[in-house]
């Protein structure tokens, strides 16, 4: 049996991950998304028809003409005119009366449900959903046959939705494609017409995870780890720098007798919070950029069982940028960097995925009172267009939360002493090399007494 997989879209909602990568090639647990999809196909599928378009050369270079013992035929959709147009491009590669599986290259599905589907009559996978309005809503009779399919209804007739996996035969092509109000040719119209003349069965699935936005990849990785007992990631080869040279002059006087990074939050130094976060996510090559009262930090590393962590010490204040460059002086690969006083549950794998080997990434999140933070302006593709200094005039904005993924060549032409915020990031913006990672979790900073108190309150609960 053949399987037609639509993989031609530009993935604009996935930007910046898809700026130079087709969506099916976005990495999920170290493999392209499309590879996960292919690996879950039932054994009945012996040939793949991939309808490709955007950056299709990268898909073909990875999968070749045969993958997982399945022959692959590539059909190029030169212009993205819709899903029905893409489906009909594959028609010449099917035989008369032939059944085939039809799906998309951006959703993860249950292997067992697809196995059941291909063993029956023409039909579709469905799943109950608490809010079916954004999907194709399916009505089913007592015999398990589809009676209606309505795309994105304002008033759904059921909570059953089609998840984008169908078992068709060549009769689907008897129904003409037509232009939708969105200006595309959509396969759902053909399915609706076919339902008037032929029975469709349903197979309920116990797993469906659509991937439409960057944050969906993070959820997918968690679900795949749980489902397949996958090992935790090991990023030993990725350096991580904690910028920890500050003296905390805006903190309460009683806290200024020690380096800012050793100020305690909920029973342990903020530096310990950052180290533990990196270790949990698989980072072992950790380096500190130290300055003010550095020996106290070195002593703490020795007494806290953190002697595997390396460090560099400024002989004189070099600024946040100069200290970071000193720490990264021998790096030849992209690296993680974070401000010690910005504590957030950032997913570093997601941060790295945003940058790849081309872009520098800055993590930010919406803030309704941005007056005391640097803020970012970005375009629809998440390229940062402006890095703005703190200003009383800026209220509602995306703010910098101090977590970065950086390329090793960014320090060229920078002076000996410089600031990341005032000098380096504006330079990267001008070069078009800085993109935004939007953080969805918590973020607490400790730049002053009020913020420190809020961080302590948050972590003590």
Task: Write the pLDDT tens digit of every residue in 188-215.
Answer: 889 889 988 898 988 999 899 999 999 9
CA distances (Å), origin 91, targets 15, 114, 178, 207, 287: 31, 22, 17, 29, 56
Kindly state whether residue 372 falls inside one of the protein's structural domains: yes
- Supply the pTM of this predicted model: 0.84
- Segments of 370-410 assigned E as strands: 375-378, 384-388, 397-406
Note the pLDDT tens digit of each residue in 144-198. Answer: 888 888 888 888 888 889 899 999 999 999 999 888 777 788 888 898 899 888 9
CA distance 150 to 156: 8
Q: Is the peptide bond before 268 cis (omega within 30 degrees of 0)?
A: no
Pairing type for strands 99-104 and 2-7 reads parallel
**CA separation for the pair 193, 180 (Å, rounded):** 14
Encoded tokens for 120: 């029956």
Share of the chain above pLDDT 70, in %: 99
In a domain, 233, yes or no: no
- Summarize pLDDT for 4-35 with one digit per residue, the tens: 999 999 999 999 999 989 999 999 988 999 99
The whole-number average pLDDT for the span 286-291 is 96
Given 195, 228, 261, the domain boundary residue is 228
Look at residue 104 and tell me whether its pLDDT is greater than 90.
yes
Asked, for residue 287, whether it belongs to a domain, the answer is yes
In-domain check, residue 146: yes
pLDDT at 277: 96
Residues 276 and 421 in one domain: yes
If asked whether residues 250 and 211 sit together in one domain, one would say: no
Residue 111 in this model has a pLDDT that exceeds 90: yes
Quick one: 208 and 297 in the same domain?
Answer: no
Domain shared by 203 and 261, yes or no: no
Same-domain status, 250 and 224: no
Mean pLDDT across the stretch 439-449?
88
Q: What domain count does the chain have? A: 2
In this predicted structure, the answer to whether residue 275 has a pLDDT above a threshold of 90 is yes
State whether 55 and 181 are in the same domain.
yes
Contact 111, 179 (CB under 8 A): no
Task: Check: CB of residue 342 under 8 Å from CB of residue 455.
Answer: no
What one-character-per-residue DSSP string does 28-82 give?
ETTEEHHHHHHHTS-TT--EEEEEE-TTHHHHHHHHTTEETTEEEEEEE-SS---
Q: What tokens appear for 133 in the block?
A: 């309005």
What six digits make up the tokens of 108?
């993860």
Do residue 179 and residue 302 come from a single domain?
no
Cα(431)–Cα(338) distance, rounded to whole angstroms?
22
Distance CA 290, CA 209 (A): 43
- Domain membership flag for residue 234: no
The verdict on 216 and 248 lying in the same domain is no
Give the confidence band of 248 by pLDDT, cuts at 50, 70, 90: low
At residue 346 the predicted structure's pLDDT band, cuts being 50, 70 and 90, is: very high
Q: Which long-range contacts (CB under 8 A, 24 or more apart) does 388-394 make?
A: 389/421, 389/422, 394/370
Task: Indicate whether 259 and 374 sit together in one domain.
Answer: yes
Last residue of a domain, one of 199, 228, 257: 228
Question: Same structural domain for residues 338 and 428?
Answer: yes
Q: What pLDDT, on a 0 to 100 scale, did the predictor assign at position 107?
A: 92
Domain annotation covers residue 288: yes
Share of the chain above pLDDT 90, in %: 67
What would the two tokens of residue 382 be? 């998440």
pLDDT of residue 379: 95
Lowest-pLDDT range of 141-150, 282-291, 387-396: 141-150
* Residue 428 confidence (pLDDT) above 70: yes
Q: Are residues 171 and 279 in the same domain?
A: no
What average pLDDT does this structure show over 430-459? 90
Q: Is the pLDDT of residue 114 over 70?
A: yes
Instruction: Please tell me whether residues 218 and 261 are part of one structural domain.
Output: no
Tell me the per-residue pLDDT of 308-336, one tens digit each, with 9 for 90 and over: 999 999 989 999 999 999 999 999 999 99
- pLDDT value at residue 148: 84
What is the residue range of 219's domain?
2-228
**Choice among 30-39, 94-103, 252-261, 388-397 with the minimum mean pLDDT:** 252-261
Last residue of a domain, one of 163, 197, 228: 228
Q: Please, what is the Cα angle at 210 between 206 and 214, to 5 degrees?
A: 140
CATH number assigned to the domain comprising residue 378: 3.90.550.10
């Amino acid at each position: 049996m053949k399987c037609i997989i639509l993989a031609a879209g530009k993935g604009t909602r996935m930007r910046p991950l898809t700026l130079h990568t087709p969506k099916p090639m976005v990495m999920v647990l170290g493999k392209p998304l499309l590879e996960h999809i292919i690996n879950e196909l039932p054994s009945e599928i012996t040939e793949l028809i991939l309808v490709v378009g955007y950056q299709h050369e990268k898909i073909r270079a990875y999968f070749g003409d045969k993958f997982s013992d399945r022959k692959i035929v590539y059909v190029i959709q030169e212009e993205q005119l819709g899903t029905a147009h893409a489906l009909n491009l594959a028609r010449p590669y099917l035989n008369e009366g032939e059944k085939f599986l039809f799906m998309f290259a951006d959703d993860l599905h249950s292997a067992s449900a697809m196995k059941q589907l291909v063993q029956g009559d023409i039909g579709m996978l469905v799943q109950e959903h608490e809010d079916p309005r954004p999907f194709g809503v399916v009505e089913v009779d007592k015999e398990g046959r589809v009676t209606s399919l309505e795309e994105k209804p304002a008033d759904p007739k059921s909570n059953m939705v089609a998840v984008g996996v169908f078992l068709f035969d060549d009769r689907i092509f008897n129904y003409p494609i037509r232009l939708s109000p969105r200006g595309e040719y959509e396969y759902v119209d053909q399915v609706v017409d076919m339902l008037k003349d032929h029975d469709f069965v349903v197979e309920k699935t116990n797993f469906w995870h659509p991937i439409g936005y960057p944050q969906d990849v993070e959820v997918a990785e968690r679900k795949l780890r749980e489902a397949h007992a996958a090992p935790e990631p090991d990023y030993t080869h990725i350096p991580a720098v904690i910028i920890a040279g500050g003296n905390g002059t805006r903190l309460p006087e009683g806290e200024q007798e020690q380096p800012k990074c050793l100020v305690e939050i909920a029973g342990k130094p903020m530096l310990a919070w950052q180290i533990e976060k990196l270790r949990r996510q698989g980072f072992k090559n950790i380096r500190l950029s130290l300055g003010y009262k550095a020996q106290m930090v070195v002593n703490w590393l020795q007494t806290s069982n953190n002697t595997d962590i390396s460090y560099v010490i400024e002989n004189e204040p070099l600024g946040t940028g100069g200290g970071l460059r000193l720490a990264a002086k021998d790096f030849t690969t992209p690296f993680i960097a974070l401000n010690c006083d910005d504590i957030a549950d950032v997913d570093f794998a997601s941060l790295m995925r945003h940058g790849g080997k081309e872009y520098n990434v800055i993590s930010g999140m919406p803030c309704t009172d941005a007056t005391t933070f640097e803020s970012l302006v970005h375009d629809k593709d998440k390229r940062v267009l402006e890095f703005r200094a703190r200003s009383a005039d800026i209220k509602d904005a995306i703010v910098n939360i101090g977590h970065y993924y950086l390329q090793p060549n960014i320090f060229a032409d920078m002076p000996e002493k410089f600031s990341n915020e005032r000098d380096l990031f504006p330079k990267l913006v001008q070069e078009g090399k800085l993109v935004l990672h939007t953080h969805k979790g918590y973020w607490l900073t400790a730049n002053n007494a009020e913020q420190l108190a809020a961080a302590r309150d948050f972590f003590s609960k």
